[in-house]
Amino acid sequence: MPVYITQSGSVMTARITGEIDHHSALWLRSDIDTAINDSSPTKLLLDFSAVTFMDSSGVGLVMGRFKNMKERGGKVELVNMPEYIKKVMSLAGMDRLLKEGR
């Protein structure tokens, strides 16, 4: 499962594609954290527009990036979430922690 990472100024966007499950979440964490460590963005946009499936591993992925960015004084915003992902995030209580964009 690829993640496409771009940066414009201090805003990094990670466009996740395909399925987010236990196995793919490991690679996604590594790729996104490496990019954060290399570029030190102040805002991370997690773009879910191309995600076709997500289980609870996706919630863990988001929570970990939230913690990583918070420790650096940055923020995370979830963008382009399909309705089923919005529901999963809401059920997990993530809507209280994170800003939803676009």
Query: What pLDDT score was predicted for residue 95?
Result: 74
Task: Give the pTM.
Answer: 0.91
d(CA 74, CA 49): 22
Burial of 72 (0-12, 13-18, 19+ CB in 10 A): middle
Averages of pLDDT over each 10 residues, the chain, 102 residues = 93 97 94 96 96 93 95 94 90 74 56
CB 78 within 8 A of CB 87: no
Quote the strand ranges of 1-102, DSSP E.
3-8, 11-20, 43-54, 75-79, 99-101
Q: Where are the domains of the chain?
A: 3-101
Q: Is residue 87 helix, strand or coil? A: helix
What is the topology classification, in CATH, of domain 3-101? Answer: Transcription Regulator spoIIAA (3.30.750)
Closest CA to 15 of 1, 5, 25, 23: 5
